[in-house]
């Protein structure tokens, strides 16, 4: 299951070495079905000169990577709930 630390690591991986953030705050939101999903609120403080690049980068990553993340989470859920025989 995703954790705050894993989400912060994902932010670091996505931003790479070319961007720097003043701060990254992450909060796990309350889920209705905790065993099915996790939602997070991520707040980034960036320099105004980097804003356009950061928005483009994170919107691209969220739209292209979300399906891969969902697939990984489903795989983790089913393999932990139903170990191989």
Q: What is the pTM of this model?
A: 0.62
The sign one gets for the Cα dihedral 80, 1, 39, 66 is negative
Per residue of the chain (85 residues), what is the pLDDT tens digit?
778 888 888 888 888 787 888 888 999 999 888 877 888 888 888 888 888 888 888 877 766 666 566 666 655 655 555 555 5
- Domain interval for residue 16: 4-81
Q: Is 7:42 a contact under the CB 8 Å cutoff? A: yes
Where are the alpha helices (H) located in 1-85, listed in sequence order?
Answer: 4-15, 51-81
13: tokens are 């991986």
Count up the domains in the chain and report the number: 1
């Amino acid at each position: 299951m995703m954790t705050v630390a894993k989400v912060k690591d994902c932010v670091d991986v996505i931003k790479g070495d070319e961007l720097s953030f003043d701060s990254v705050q992450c909060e796990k939101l309350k889920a209705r079905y905790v065993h099915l999903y996790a939602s997070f609120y991520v707040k980034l403080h960036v320099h105004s000169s980097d804003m356009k690049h950061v928005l483009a980068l994170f919107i691209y990553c969220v739209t292209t990577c979300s399906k891969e993340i969902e697939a990984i989470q489903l795989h983790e859920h089913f393999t932990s709930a139903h170990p191989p025989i």
